[in-house]
Amino acid sequence: MGIHAAIFWLLLLLYPFHEALLAGALGCNWGTRSSHPLPGDIVVRLLKDNGFDKVKLFEADPKALRALGRSGIEVMVGIPNEFLAPLAGSVAVAEQWVTQNVSAYISRYGVNITHVAVGNEPFLKTYKGMFQRTTFPALQNIQAALIKAGLGRQVKATVPLNADVYQTNNQLPSGGDFRPDIRDLMIAIIKFLQDNGGTLTINIYPFLSLYADPNFPIDYAFFSGSAAPVVDGSITYSNVFEANYDTLIWALEKNGFESMPVIVGEIGWPTDGNPNANLDYAHKFNQGLLDRITKRQGTPKRPTPPDIYLFGLIDEDTKSIQPGNFERHWGIFYYDGTVKYPLVLENGQGLVPAKGIKYLSKQWCVLSPERSITDPAIADSVNYACQYADCTSLGYGSSCNELDARSNISYALNQFYQVADQQKGACSFSNLSVITNIDPSQGRCKFEIMIDVGKHEKSVNSGEEGSARIRWNAVVAMVVSAVLLSSASSALL
């Protein structure tokens, strides 16, 4: 047997077949926390037009899964953390979940589901151990359910983990090991994954290193070299991604898992909501990441590149901002699928925007020129608008931070008006505002016009999707009614 053939068969023994052949493939996270989501068929076309052959969903979203049917795109379906307890408590619940969210979409719609992600970063330190007792049993029950459904070889279970599950005792990758409080649990999970042909999924965020530590060397967060590289024995690390990833590899090797396959489940850079979350930095980071993927470049400890899922595809305007205002701005595309910044993909082409988007009318809600910015009703109106709409771009160091007071107020009012589908009365606010046909956008601050979800849904024959939209419209109508009542009360006073 020749040396090349021997190496090939050795790789097959060490890795699942599809992992060996598709190492370094490009995936993307498709989050759906949006008030006006892009239609699923448009998102799938966006993925395919831009060469993404893998996608990760954070939950079994019916519209997204149906749209992915027969697309050829490999799908990782996520299970939210709040489902871990019932799944851990009953294998029957796990079997029902697999039947409804995996088997059904594979058989009926031809969705190419390859992974089930059990939980989402369940061992984050900030959770204070909330999911430590339920994650592993939930994983075991999901694996058993996949096997019972005849999908044990086709669909692999994994647990997406934050990089805080490992640490180093000497500030170098070679000191890597799992956190003491979860070390035994991590070893048990990894052994279980290995025994069942699964993979370990890790989320790595260089941006968060910079966000957490103002003294973090900024050039070390990118891939263009560092003025202060980290030297670990014979290895020199010029970027935090390689150092972080190899810290994990050292932790795996120390605990007997030298050949454990690893997926990078999330990595990216936000574009708004923080001074370091901007278009220039996001372009620099993500282009460097894509260049590594194109070159099939691994790390010093693992020369074979892992599968990487870029985070994320599209901005999500209703996502939780508890970690920071930047959470709603991770997309390489804006909420409507337009390109944020140029990226050169593996085939040499640039990003392709979404096609066939229908928008609401070209009109905006702004502060009336007849009203003073000192009007006592303004503060409550702006706070109310930002309670129901996304105003994170107004924060310090963000894209709309440099607006003057009048424009700042107008931005908040318009965000509410657009989220409310430009409904009659949604631009009232105690008679503070007016509707204009002149775009008030300034510089890098965009006054948005929302997607007309209603027009898109006219072509969708789905009672479930229609009922979901009715529920959202009910919420919007309730909020608009509250604004109208507030305006009427002010008028009476």
| Known catalytic residue at 266 | yes
SS (H, E, C) the chain: CCHHHHHHHHHHHHCCHHHHHHCCCEEEEECCCCCCCCCHHHHHHHHHHCCCCEEEECCCCHHHHHHCCCCCCEEEEEECHHHHHHHHHCHHHHHHHHHHHHHHHHHHHCCEEEEEEECCCCCCHHHCCCCCCCHHHHHHHHHHHHHHCCCCCCCEEECEEEHHHEEECCCCHHHEEECHHHHHHHHHHHHHHHHCCCCEEEECCHHHHHHHCCCCCHHHHCCCCCCCCEEECCEEECCHHHHHHHHHHHHHHHCCCCCCCEEEEEECCCCCCECCECHHHHHHHHHHHHHHHHCCCCCCCCCCCCEEEECCCECCCCCCCCCCHHHHCCCCECCCCCECCCCECCCCCECCCCCCCCECCCCEEEECCCCCCCCCCHHHHHHHHHHHCCCHHHCCCCCCCCCCHHHHHHHHHHHHHHHCCCCCCCCCCCCCEEEECCCCCECCECCCCCECHHHHHCCCCCHHHHHHHHHHHHHHHHHHHHHHHHHHHHHHC
End-to-end CA separation in angstroms for the chain: 92
Please pick, among 59, 74, 95, 121, the residue that the annotation labels catalytic. Answer: 121
CA count, 13 A, side-chain hemisphere, 207 = 27
From CA 447, how far away is CA 32, in angstroms rounded?
22
Residue 370 appears among annotated catalytic residues: no
Please classify residue 435 by burial: count the beta carbons closer than 10 Å to its beta carbon, then call 0-12 exposed, 13-18 middle and 19+ buried: middle
Please give the Cα distance from 152 to 197 (Å, whole number).
9
Alpha-carbon distances of 314 from 107, 135, 273, rounded to whole Å: 28, 28, 15
Catalytic-role residue among 59, 266, 316, 465: 266
Encoding tokens for residue 346? 């593996």
For residue 459, give Cα distances in angstroms to 61, 126, 265, 429, 454: 19, 43, 33, 34, 9
Q: Point out the residues that are catalytic.
A: 121, 266
